[in-house]
Amino acid sequence: MALADPVLDSPKEAAADPDAFVRAAMHWHFSPGTGSPFWLARRSELGFDPLTDIRGHADLARFPNLASELREAPVGELIPRGYGERPDVVGVYESGGTTGAPKRIALLQDWLDQLLAWSSGQLDAHGVPQDVNWLVVAPSGPHMVGDVIKRQTAYRGGLAFTVDLDPRWVKQLISGGRAAEADAYAEHIVDQAAYALRSQEIGVLMCTPPVLERISRRDELAELVNRKVRAINWVGTQMDADTRHLYRTEVFPDAVLYSGYGSTLILGNASERPGLTDDDPCVYDPFSPYMSFGVVDPESGEPVEYGERGQVVMHHVSRSLLLPANLERDTGLRVEPLPGQVGDSVADIAPVATFEDQNVIEGVY
Partner 1 sequence: MAEEPIQLDALGASGAYRSRRRQTVEDVAGSPVAELTLVPGLFVGRTMKALHRARTLPAPERIAALARAGSLFAEGVFDGLGPAGYRRTVSRVSGVPVSVVAEAAAAISEAAGTAGETAYAAKPAAAVSDWRSPETTKGSAVWTRRGDVFAVHAAGNHPGPHSLWLEALALGYRVAVRPSRREPFTPHRLVLALREAGFGPDHVALLPTDHGTADAILRDADLGLAYGGDDVVAKYAGSGVLPQGPGRSKILVTADTDWRAHLDTIVASVAHQGGVACINATSVLVEGDPAPLAEALAERLATLPTLPPEDEGAVLSAQPVDSARALEKHLLSRAAGTTAWLGGDGVVEELPGGGAVLRPAVHQVAEAGAEQHRVELPFPCVWVGPWSPSDGVGPLRDSLVLTVMTEQDALVDELVAEPSISNVYRGDHPTYWIRPGVPHDGYLGEFLMRTKTVIRD
- Binding of residue 217 to partner 1 (CB under 8 A): yes
- Binding of residue 220 to partner 1 (CB under 8 A): no
CB of 251 to partner 1, least distance (A): 7
| Binding track, positions 159-198, relative to partner 1; x by CB under 8 A | ----------------------------------------
Select 143 or 244, whichever has its Cβ closest to partner 1. Answer: 244
Give the C-alpha separation, 96 to 94, whole Å. Answer: 7
- Binding of residue 353 to partner 1 (CB under 8 A): no
Return the number of other C-beta atoms located less than 10 Å from residue 310's C-beta: 23
For residue 315, count CB atoms less than 10 angstroms from its CB and return exposed for 0-12, middle for 13-18, buried for 19 or more. buried
Calculate the CA dihedral of residues 351, 186, 167, 259 and round it to 10 degrees: 50
Structural element, H or E, at residue 234: strand 231-234
Give the C-alpha separation, 14 to 22, whole Å. Answer: 9
CB of 136 to partner 1, least distance (A): 22
Residues ≥6 apart with Cβ < 8 Å to 48: 54, 62
Select 281 or 301, whichever has its Cβ closest to partner 1. Answer: 281
Select 4 or 361, whichever has its Cβ closest to partner 1. Answer: 361
Site for partner 1 in 260-279 (CB under 8 A): 279
- Binding of residue 299 to partner 1 (CB under 8 A): no
CB of 179 to partner 1, least distance (A): 8
Contacting partner 1 (CB under 8 A), which of 17, 166, 243, 274?
A: 243
Rounded to the nearest 5°, which phi and psi values hold at 295?
-130, 115
Contacting partner 1 (CB under 8 A), which of 89, 246, 276, 325?
A: 246
Select 217 or 329, whichever has its Cβ closest to partner 1. Answer: 217
Partnered with residue 347 across adjacent β-strands are 283, 333
- Binding of residue 356 to partner 1 (CB under 8 A): yes
- Binding of residue 251 to partner 1 (CB under 8 A): yes
- Binding of residue 258 to partner 1 (CB under 8 A): no
Partnered with residue 322 across adjacent β-strands are 317
Given the rule CB under 8 A, which of 91-99, 200-208, 211-219, 324-332 is the region that contacts partner 1? 211-219
Question: 282, 257 in Cβ contact below 8 A?
Answer: no
Give the C-alpha separation, 77 to 150, whole Å. Answer: 27
Cα→Cα distances 19→7, 293, 302, 332, 339, Å: 10, 15, 21, 25, 15
Given the rule CB under 8 A, which of 111-119, 200-208, 213-221, 225-233 is the region that contacts partner 1? 213-221
The residue ranges that bind partner 1 (CB under 8 A) are 213, 216-217, 240-243, 245-247, 250-251, 279, 356, 358, 360-365
